[in-house]
Amino acid sequence: MTTLISAQGGVRRRLTAIGGAVAALFLAAFAALMMPAAAHADPNVISYSNDSGATWGGMDKIPALEGELIPGGEAVSTFWAKNTTAQGGTLQVYLGNWTMNAPEVQAYVRAEINDISGTVVDLVNDVAEPGTELESIHLSPGQSAKVMLVVGMPESAGNESQDASIDPDFALDFEVDAAPAVTTTTVTGPATANTSAGIELTATVAPADATGTVQFKDGTTNLGTPVTLVNGVAKVTQIFETAGAHSITAVYSGDATNATSTSAAHVVTVTVTGGGNGSSGSLDLGSLDSGSLSNLFGS
């Protein structure tokens, strides 16, 4: 009792991006003919590997689903996908436009990403609509993930599944994260200071709902550790130990939706506070007239 996994030859390309993604990468699963899974993909979006990431390339790196299904058996295609963009994004695996030649055949599909299995879709007893998401993962720039496309047959499958054929189909979709919002950072504080007392420096980040931290700097030197934003504002009290002009900037870290930014420089002129300068004083020896001398020593 076997079921042959088959597929029409050729390259499949669908122009509809499932899930509103900006880049949709589709593939059809080829098995018995040992042909590679095929689709078109922008090499600037996702690269693929069939050797644990040792070498990367296009969709030709995705191996075919292979073998014959038997009750309790699975056919698997394993590959790695890497985000080659400068932004994060979500890799999603969907059920494609699958077909089978007998409505009674028992079969299911699922996808694993990094050895975690997603939804198992029964092609007969469930409503297996094309576009059903099987599994997904968020990939940072340069990050890769192991992907497994699986077609299986339940152990309970009976004679109705004998000599049937299944044309499985999967869709890979990569949705790039929205570009972070532009932010502006300003730093304010007194224009003058002395070495005997601290002054308060304030950094303000717009938009005000930005989260993250601000690093205050004196030139290229960090002033303490990063300060957490509260309602878009971060403050620090700083004592300067050296006199002269100090160029103060604030560097915002950015967050998931806001880009990093650096303020213009705010110059603080620092002077040294001196102690009291006591007078050297003087010694008044008085004065003696010449007459006094004659009185002392005689005439």
143 and 191 share a domain? Answer: no
77 contacts: CB under 8 Å, gap ≥ 6: 29, 37, 62, 63, 64, 65, 66, 148, 149
Cα torsion angle, 11, 16, 18, 23, sign? positive
Same domain as 171, residue 195: no
Q: How far is CA 144 from CA 55, 111, 119, 249, in A?
A: 12, 16, 21, 36
Tell me, yes or no, whether 128 and 23 share the same domain: yes
Q: Kindly state whether residue 57 falls inside one of the protein's structural domains.
A: yes
Query: How many Cβ atoms sit within 10 Å of the Cβ of residue 223?
Result: 18
Question: Is residue 219 situated within a structural domain?
Answer: yes
136 and 12, same structural domain? yes
Q: Are residues 164 and 36 in the same domain?
A: yes
Shared-domain flag, residues 169 and 231: no
Range of the domain at 257: 184-271
Residue 179 is classified by DSSP as P
Is residue 18 within 8 A of residue 173, CB to CB? The reply is: yes
- 296 in a domain, yes or no? no
| DSSP per-residue string spanning 23-79 | EEEEEE---TT-PPPB----TTTEEEESSTTSS-BSGGGSPPP-SEE-TT-EEEEEE
Is residue 67 in some structural domain?
Answer: yes
pLDDT along the chain (299 residues), means of 10: 34 27 34 31 77 93 80 90 91 86 79 95 78 93 95 78 72 88 98 96 98 98 98 97 97 95 98 61 45 42
pTM for the whole structure? 0.61
Quote the pLDDT of residue 14.
30
Q: Residues 135, 213: one domain?
A: no
The answer to whether residue 276 is domain-embedded is no
Read off the CATH number of the domain in which 195 is found.
2.60.40.10
What values do phi and psi take at 240, rounded to 5? -95, 135
Amino acid residing at 60: D
Q: 162 and 221: one domain?
A: no
Which letter, b or e, does each residue of 191-215 get, where b requires 16 or more Cβ atoms within 10 Å of its Cβ? eebeeeeebebbbbbbeeebebbbb
